[in-house]
Structure 1
Amino acid sequence: MKQSSDYLSDVLVICRAERAVTASFFLRAPWALASEGVPGTMIRIAQGQPYWLQVRGQAPVRVMPGDLVVLPLGSPHVMASDLALTPVPFARMIERFAQGPKDENPLTFEHGGAGARTRIDSVLLWISAHCRHTILNLLPPLLHIPAAQAAPPAMLGSTLQALIEDSLARRAGWRLAAVRLGELAMVHVLSNHFAAQQERRQGWVRGLADAQIAKAMAAIHGRPSHDWTLQTLAREAAMSRSRFAEKFKALVGDSPMAYLQQQRMAHAAQQLESGLPLAQIAEDCGYESERVFARAFKRWCGLPPRAYQRSAQALRKEFAALK
């Protein structure tokens, strides 16, 4: 039988990066920069002097050299050598220094005074909708991974720095490498975060610590459009229907069918972003008509499918047009 860590991999397989943009900032104290948020998942690593990072509404964090910071949903934030400084908007720096689309010309700039030097390398990832709606929105707005806690210890930092160096040098294949290496770093961060939650028996990942429930969860994630019933999911877990429903709810926090519905709607969101016809999406999700599906989708995310599709397309354009 699989170990629970294998089931975590089965769940995280939906976390795919579709595009990536990279940047490298060379900063000398005193300096401060403010971002109003970005349409993607931001991963950063720094060298040189420590700096402060404060996500809006959160306590500031001291970031040391080699630490990884991840903004799963690109939350507004400030980075600074001293948080008492008035920050310069990132948008102003981008407007001043960008040379064409960042997926063709990674953003680099120097900023600040004449003091101690900090270099910050970053990759911004456009993550699949299925992952954003079911995994990333479960995370805190900031994940801070001290260098000593990264696992494997040197792998994540070296992966990100290889990604940045390839993009700055415009080595052949760097665009694809940026997507794949960024995705690899993200999956390792997520694996470490959820594995720690699993050990502490926190959140929905408690279900992955139980081989029977984990098998049903992996089946749902792997085939969200399948015609699952409580009986067939119980069969996947090799349990009676009543015992399966009781145990799933106790560990995961949702009933099996509610969890299935969440995965189906997230999968539908991904299909909407891919431009598939609404009738096909409704059928894949097991709905008898577009109208019934549209009502269910609006209950889930607050927007009708077409409005969601337009909003997602606008965010994609914003991501693609970062300059």
Structure 2
Amino acid sequence: MDSPADTDRLVHWLIDSIELEAAAFHVGQYCGRWRASTAGRGLGSFHLVLHGSCWLHVEGRAPLELGPRDGVFLLRDIPHFLGPDPDPRAPLPAGGMQPLGTPGADTTGIACGFFQYRGALSTLIVDSFPDVVELRAEDASIRAAGTVFDLMLAEAGADPDLPPPLISRLAELLFFYVTRHVARQHDVVSGLMALARRPEFTALLEKMMADPGHDWSTENMARTVHMSRSSFYKHFVDASGQPPAQFLLLLRMKIAAQRLNHGETIERAAEHVGYRSHAAFSRAFQKVIGEPPGAFRRQRRSLDPAPQLN
């Protein structure tokens, strides 16, 4: 089992590595019969219960009841909706969201919105997260997050469709509580976080992240963690779900994409991750990222540096 120091180090590394942009979409309350969803936008989303209660319905899962100061982060765009009924087949409602007001017996206050990961490393990390992450008010490990809910209530404006910008920043803060919460769980079974949770791989990951262009052959990786090649290979595949060479390729190309996204030249990004041949780097980049590095860089440079979520 990880020590608190190991967990804290992992949490700090994760929070420092994830680049996130959140945008609040609606902040208000429902009463009577209602149904709300953020599905179909191709983005991760969040739903935070400010007062009252409701049920989350996710395709293929049992209904999930949410109460005051509970929240749910849907880290990928999956079919879902929220409503006051545990039965997903309940009749569709007619009413919409109203401004936050005095909580009543049949009212539910909700902040909901979207987020996207900025930087390739963020996607690499979040790929290890489960699709749905819950924040529970009674969970002592995230009790401090309740203060953020209080701030949201205090900042909510009169128009549910035009929430103040501070709500989005508060949602980002809650996401990092989610990051810490996930890092302390033991149900992450593959990917970068699973490797980071294994003490025998912590030093290796830190060195690979710091110097991705090093000669990281399987033999050198095994030597770094003081294992035989065969033992290292088995434990690495068990933890990450993929061979070391495949993981290294993914890691290098994600790091290269992040550097290109930040304005670095293709040549310098390629050199940083260990490629001297432009052609070899281009082939590897397209295989992992899905487009050549030149097209990737041109597309990112043509975008507003701080795009707004819709």
- TM-score scaled by structure 2? 0.74
Cα deviation for residue 268 of structure 1 reads: 2.4
What is the CA distance between 1:120 and its match in structure 2? 0.6
Q: In 1, are the aligned partners of 2:68 and 2:137 still within 8 Å (CA)?
A: yes
Which residue matches 2:22?
A: 20
Whichever residue aligns with residue 257 of structure 1, its letter is: A
The offset of 1:18, in angstroms, is 4.5
**Structure with a larger share of its residues in helix:** 1
How many residues were matched structurally? Answer: 295
Q: Structure 1 counterpart of 2:293, which letter? A: P
Gaps of 5+ in 2: 159-163
* CA deviations over 1:32-81 (Å, ceiling 9, x no partner): 12334446443332133321223455544222222120011344532222
What is the CA distance between 1:318 and its match in structure 2? Answer: 10
Which of 177, 191, 203 does residue 180 from structure 2 map onto?
A: 191
* 1:46–1:182 Cα change, 3 Å: closer
- Matched-pair contact (CA < 8 Å) for 2:17–2:121: yes
Distance 1:15 1:30, change over 3 A: farther
Q: Is the 2:52–2:67 contact (alpha carbons within 8 Å) kept by the matching residues of 1? A: yes
- Give the corresponding residue for 1:102: none
Cα distance in 1 for partners of 2:180, 2:266 equals 33
In structure 2, the partner of 1:29 is 32
Which residue in 1 is equivalent to 2:107? 117
Distance 1:87 1:271 in 2: 47
Secondary structure, counterpart of 1:320 in structure 2: coil
Change over 3 Å in CA distance of 1:110–1:186 after alignment to 2: closer
Contact 2:213 2:271 in 1 (8 A): no
8 Å CA contact retained: 2:46, 2:113: yes
Alignment correspondent of 2:206: 218
Q: Which runs of structure 2 are paired with 1:153-302 in the superposition (5 Å)?
A: 154-162=143-151, 165-166=154-155, 168=157, 179=169, 181-197=170-186, 202-204=189-191, 205-220=193-208, 222-223=209-210, 225-230=212-217, 232-241=220-229, 243-302=231-290
Shift of 1:4: 3.2
The aligned residue for residue 129 of structure 1 is 119
Aligned pair in 2 of structure 1 residues 224, 280: CA closer, same or farther (>3 Å)? same
Distance 1:46 1:294, change over 3 A: same
8 Å CA contact 1:121–1:164 kept in 2: the answer is: no
Match for 1:65: what amino acid? P
**Structure 1 CA distance for aligned equivalents of residues 156 and 253 of structure 2:** 35
Q: Is the 8 A contact 1:35 1:78 kept in 2?
A: yes
1:61 aligns with 2:50: no
C-alpha contact (below 8 Å) 1:10/1:218 kept by paired residues: no
- Higher RCO (CA < 8 A, seq sep 6+): 1
**2:7 corresponds to which of 5, 10, 15:** 5
Deviations 1:174-224 (A, max 9, x none): 968954x54442233123224222xx683345544542222212332x325
**Matching residue's letter, 1:19:** E
Residue 161 of structure 2 corresponds to none
How far apart in 2 are the matches of 1:164 and 1:53?
A: 21
Change in CA separation of 1:210 and 1:80 when aligned onto 2, cut-off 3 Å = closer
Instruction: After TM superposition, give the deviation of residue 315 of structure 1 in Å.
Output: 8.9
Q: Find the partner of 1:86 among 76, 79, 92.
A: 92
* TM-score, with structure 1 as normaliser: 0.72
| Structure 1 residues 53 and 177: CA distance shift in structure 2, 3 A | closer
* C-alpha separation in 2, matches of 1:203 and 1:228: 24
Residues 246 and 32 (structure 1 numbering): CA distance in 2 closer, same or farther, change over 3 Å? closer
Segment of structure 1 superposing worse, 27-36 or 205-214: 205-214
Alpha-carbon distance, 1:267 to partner? 1.8
Instruction: Tell me, yes or no, if the aligned pair for 1:31 and 1:85 is still in contact at 8 Å.
Output: no
AA partner of residue 210 (structure 2): R
User: Which letter does structure 2 place at the counterpart of 1:158?
Assistant: T
Output the CA distance in 2 between the equivalents of 1:88 and 1:269.
46
Q: Percent identity among equivalent residues?
A: 23
